[in-house]
Amino acid sequence: MQKIVLIPGDGIGSEITLSVKEILSAAQAPVEWVEHIAGQTALDQTGTPLPEATLEAIRTHKLALKGPLTTPVGTGFRSVNVALRQQFDLYANIRPARTLPGIDTPFRNVDMVIFRENTQGLYIGRENWVEEHEHAESIAVVTRKSSERIIRAAFEYAAQNGRKKVTLVHKANILKFTTGLFLEVGRSIAREFPSVMFEDLIVDNMAMQMVMRPERFDVIVTTNLFGDILSDLASGLVGGLGVTGAGNIGESAAIFEAVHGSAPDIAGQGKANPMAFLFSALMLLEYLGETKIAEQIRAAIYVVLQDHRDICTPDIGGQGSTSTFTEAICRLF
């Protein structure tokens, strides 16, 4: 039995957490939850949005499943999520986007996985005023080490999972030093994986191609800012942030999460769609090597989406609730 730190989060977090716990229990997933808090909930209870007890639990167990967090205003945190990534050096943000049965979208046969460098670029937060409220500057940092580890992770994932191509996204025609370095490293690592096709695309062309021919993409690797934007775009192709999971992987820890907001406006109303959090939990199971159980749960989700659409949550066209969706999946085990 693997102990996993479980952070329900804020807003709808408790509802989707209960759903995922019930489904994994019904599927007999070999996990034991160790619950801790973060975000607004933690601030209200402990005075800090990221308690030391939560950090220590992740250090101890190395794995966490995290619901949506609200970063409290005026606490000194730019983002609790970013703080967690930096604290545990979770350098790889992995965001799959796959066409789902029954989800109304004009795009078909989408099956891509985006690897986003998670620790550098513009998101390091090195900003300063040159002239107060008139001239601001922000520094982007790209290093060879961080580029190598995210690009290698993308290629290794492709090779291990039968993926045929890696697309590296950059802006090296303009940002010649930073994304130029990223592209240089990518071309070098690509030569180590002759069985995996390699291409590079400028980010603006990539965005256009994703909405014209998304089915042509397989594994995508890019820098922090570009990955943030393109991964949300990829989710939009298959139904939105409510139907796609995410993982943040480091060398010594991994945190899987729902990337949508905490949606306080619908909290407690039974309208919350647990699917994104559930897909994140399936990524966690696959990380643990429990691929058979993950596939069984995924197959159950597809059955419910295809054959029992009416009991799904309203955001994906159903007339049901969080509990009706959860119960329908549990009945399939």
What residues are annotated to the active site?
Answer: 123, 171, 204, 228
CA distance 103 to 128: 44
Three-state secondary-structure class, residue 22: helix
First to last CA, the chain: 20
Decide: 245 and 67 in contact? Cβ < 8 Å. Answer: no
What residues contact residue 217 under an 8 Å CB cut-off, 6+ apart?
A: 112, 165, 167, 209, 210
Decide: 221 and 215 in contact? Cβ < 8 Å. Answer: no
CA distance 123 to 245: 21
What residues contact residue 168 under an 8 Å CB cut-off, 6+ apart?
A: 151, 182, 183, 186, 198, 199, 200, 201, 220, 221, 222
Amino acid at 8: P
